[in-house]
């Protein structure tokens, strides 16, 4: 049962990160304020967005095929910060709440894989 649950969660994280990565690669103008709220200029945001897209696509495939816990941990932090960027940039807190699955799903995967207690553990799929 746990194996089926893990696979379903991995597919969900894959879809979230692949979709967001593809949108970032196309330089979604609506996302510029989500970067400028952290101090980037508009030009820097436009320059960074394709790199963010590439990283998101890479995370998507890593989580699907070989979920190293450091990558899954990054997915949790990145998705949490991008969801949090919504209210920080002036949008409603509801925008953060609506995106809770974006970071809770990789968090659930990290819990299933086992939260590591040392550096070596972060570099493995399982302890």
Q: What number is the average pLDDT over the span 50-74?
A: 97
Q: pLDDT band for position 127 (50/70/90)? A: low
- Contact between 8 and 63 under an 8 Å Cβ cutoff? The reply is no
> What is the value of pTM for the model shown?
0.92
- Structural domain boundaries of the chain? 2-122
Rounded distance, CA 56 to CA 11, Å? Answer: 14
Q: How many residues does the chain have?
A: 127
């Amino acid at each position: 049962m746990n194996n089926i649950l893990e696979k379903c969660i991995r597919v969900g994280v894959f879809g979230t990160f692949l979709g967001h990565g593809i949108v970032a690669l196309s330089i979604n103008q609506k996302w510029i304020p989500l970067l400028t709220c952290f101090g980037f200029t508009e030009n820097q945001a436009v320059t960074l967005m394709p790199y963010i897209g590439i990283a998101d696509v890479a995370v998507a495939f890593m989580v699907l095929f070989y979920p190293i816990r450091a990558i899954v941990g990054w997915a949790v932090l990145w998705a949490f910060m991008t969801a949090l960027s919504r209210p920080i940039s002036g949008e409603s807190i509801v925008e953060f709440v609506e995106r809770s699955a974006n970071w809770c799903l990789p968090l659930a995967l990290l819990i299933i894989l086992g939260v590591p207690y040392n550096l070596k553990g972060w570099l493995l799929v399982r302890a």
